[in-house]
Amino acid sequence: MPPLLEVKELHTEFRTGAGLVRAVDGVSYTVEHGETVAVVGESGSGKSVGALSILRLIADPPGRITAGEILFDGRDLLRLSETEMRKVRGRDIGMVFQEPMTSLNPVLTIGRQITETLEEHQGADRGTAERRALELLEMVGIADPRRRLRQYPHQLSGGMRQRVMIAIALACNPKLIIADEPTTALDVTIQAQILELMKSLTRKLGVAQIIITHNLGVVARYASRVNVMYAGRIVEAGPAEVIYHRPRHPYTMALLRSVPRLDRPRQARLDPVEGQPPDLTRLDGGCAFRPRCRFAIERCGEMRPPLEATSDPGHLAACFRSAELVAEEVAA
């Protein structure tokens, strides 16, 4: 079976006052049916723009998808008309964003926001849509769903609003859900509830997920495969187990070393990634991580290291020295 989603050499650019920003600069990856892939990176790494590009939600101007293919279920989404694309969004691909308060319509009831999706995409009549909306709210664990259907977003807590977003995302039985920092705005116990909910529902319904996050703990708990992004490119990709225990890119290694861990006693000092994040308007032809890298050599300034297979199956790293960086077992 071909993968559910295949992103090939995707390029998305933004024209800004400071210059051209290649926010996504040649990104390729796949998502299989039913699997959870995490995209990890810091601000400006291109992780969110990459996801919005799949949905073609990049505002033009200033942004533009300039090259690449996004094969979803056999069709190239970049070649669809806007009308066809609207049918894909919300029906075949569900979306969950960071801030449920801004992605829900404040003047529509919760019930109407769910039934609207069902009527639009499935041609359901009002009665059927309302019954399904009730079912969905129950499924995402909202207590007293009948009352909640008649309420407005501001009457719900942050955790409940995110449950509603998940209900809307799942309303039309999508094949893929894209979740962009779905729990970043939530408290840690609510974050855990929401992530457990997404995990159990996507498993039960066989929905694939792309989770975009900066939280390395969330990735370790929920993703089977991980793409690590830096300055618009995937610098390392592979099974979560390999990425966390046998990373081969100096950025991934440094990132994992820099986070304090709750399961370990206090250590003397943290080991930070030195330097500042890159200025995307001033990238040269070399490796973007080079100025902060303790392994950088002359060659790193001459050209960008391609994403290449390592000795671990399914594991890719974009570093000229990845073969030498074996010994470092980051986590115990």
Partner 1 sequence: MTVSTADRPLLEVKGLAMHFPISEGIVLSRKVGEVKAVDGIDFAIGRGETLGLVGESGCGKTTTGRCILRLERPTAGQILFDGQDVSRLSSSELVGLRRRMQVIFQDPYSSLNPRMKVGDIVAEPIKVHGVEHNPARRRTRVDDLLAMCGLDPKFADRYPHEMSGGQRQRVGIARALALEPEFIVCDEAVSALDVSIQAQVVNLLEDLREKLGLTYLFIAHDLSVVRHLCQRVAVMYLGRIVEMAASDELFDHPLHPYTQALLSAVPIPDPRVEAGRTFRPPRGEVPSPINPPTGCVFHPRCPMAVEACKRTRPGLRELRPGHWVACDEVH
Decide: 160 and 142 in contact? Cβ < 8 Å.
Answer: yes
> Least distance from C-beta 16 to partner 1, angstroms?
13
> Least distance from C-beta 308 to partner 1, angstroms?
23
| Alpha-carbon 280 to chain mean position | 20
> Least distance from C-beta 79 to partner 1, angstroms?
36
Query: For residues 44 and 63, which CB has a smaller minimum distance to partner 1 in the complex?
Result: 44
Query: For residues 30 and 215, which CB has a smaller minimum distance to partner 1 in the complex?
Result: 215
Query: For residues 70 and 218, which CB has a smaller minimum distance to partner 1 in the complex?
Result: 218
Query: For residues 60 and 271, which CB has a smaller minimum distance to partner 1 in the complex?
Result: 271
> Least distance from C-beta 185 to partner 1, angstroms?
10
Query: For residues 97 and 222, which CB has a smaller minimum distance to partner 1 in the complex?
Result: 222
Decide: 249 and 61 in contact? Cβ < 8 Å.
Answer: no
The gap between the terminal CA atoms of the chain, to the nearest Å, is: 37
- Which stretches of 17-142 are assigned E, i.e. beta strand? 19-31, 36-40, 63-72, 75-76, 93-96
CA separation, residue 50 to residues 41, 104, 212 (Å): 11, 22, 10
> Least distance from C-beta 190 to partner 1, angstroms?
7
- Tokens linked to 201: 């529902």
The string over 26-44, giving b where at least 16 C-beta atoms fall within 10 Å of a residue's C-beta and e elsewhere, is bbbbbbeebbbbbbbbeeb
Query: For residues 81 and 276, which CB has a smaller minimum distance to partner 1 in the complex?
Result: 276
Decide: 24 and 11 in contact? Cβ < 8 Å.
Answer: yes
Query: For residues 129 and 160, which CB has a smaller minimum distance to partner 1 in the complex?
Result: 160
> Least distance from C-beta 166 to partner 1, angstroms?
15
d(CA 73, CA 92): 9
> Least distance from C-beta 115 to partner 1, angstroms?
26
Quote the longest CA-to-CA distance of the chain: 67
Query: Which residues sit at the interface with partner 1, rule CB under 8 A?
Result: 42-43, 157, 159-160, 187-193, 196, 214-222, 240-241, 244-245, 254-256, 258-263, 265-267, 269-274, 276-277, 331
- Dihedral sign, CA of 98, 103, 107, 108? negative
Query: For residues 82 and 294, which CB has a smaller minimum distance to partner 1 in the complex?
Result: 294
Rounded to 5 degrees, what angle do the CA atoms 220, 226, 232 make? 125
> Least distance from C-beta 193 to partner 1, angstroms?
4
Rounded to 5 degrees, what angle do the CA atoms 165, 171, 172 make? 135
